[in-house]
Amino acid sequence: MVRPFQQVDVFTTTPYRGNPLAVVLDGRGLTTEEMQRFANWTNLSETTFVLPPGEPGADYRVRIFTPDSELSFAGHPTLGTCHAWLAAGGTPHDPEVIVQECGAGLVPIRRGGEGLAFAAPPLLRSGPVEESLVERVAQMLGISRGEIADARWVDNGPGWVGVLLESAEAVLALTPGLVSCDVGVVGPHPPGSPEAFEVRAFFPHNGCTVEDPVTGSLNASLAQWLIGTGRAEAPYVAAQGTALGRAGRVHVSCDRDGTVWVGGGTVTCIGGEVDL
């Protein structure tokens, strides 16, 4: 069956400088195995499939797949799928807020001057990381334990360990070895810089360490940690993907009620059809 398809670049307004996402805009009738097979074939960090909503108030439902497994939530697939759904003529119930249904529940997405932004989901695990793990993470990253200013669980689904270094320069200088868990590293740029922080995300895959170009879920959980501890003041912009030749920019804001919003630019790079 021929189905509408888009490949979207997320957290950028310049094509091919962000994090790509494959979006199948009509996933009806596909089995989980068929979705997983296609996601494995695209070999992108995530591929999504749009379905009719099942929950009252949702505008659409999405299933999110890595090449190996299904995710209940991820940030850049949320923004990229919403972009593709709107570009394909999707009309939300509320013109100001699009509501996405996914494995993690209902996720509001709003439009603004910097593009689309999603409300950060609550953390599933937070608090200090046990010292033995911090020491192992330092070894994975190829740095000394003393170079880690702080480490916290910032898990909103993928299981992120958040690591704070003293500077963005230190983050960009990392040459990690083999990591055994998902590690998000953040460091501040000098005052007055266009970006407040530099972010890098590392995770294990098939016996190798993979770096994600731009990671919405990680930036969401890092923002909750950094804002909550007074290390960041919203709104701010984080840079990610610099070490990979990308130019991802993540815009973080915070409502008076404490809701953190994570957003950025989205642009369609490929449009057409796939036979699935």
Q: Which residues are catalytic?
A: 46
Give dist(CA 155, CA 165) in Å, integer.
Answer: 18
Structure tokens at 82: 């919403």
Contact indicator for 47, 38 with CB cutoff of 8 Å: yes
CA neighbor of 45 nearest in space, from 270, 239, 211, 238: 211
For tokens 């999504």, the residue is 48
Q: Within 10 Å of residue 3's Cβ, how many Cβ atoms? A: 17
Backbone angles phi, psi at 14, to 5 degrees: -110, 115
User: Which secondary structure element, helix H or strand E, spans residue 220, and what is its range?
Assistant: helix 216-228
On whether the CB atoms of residues 155 and 102 are closer than 8 A, the answer is no
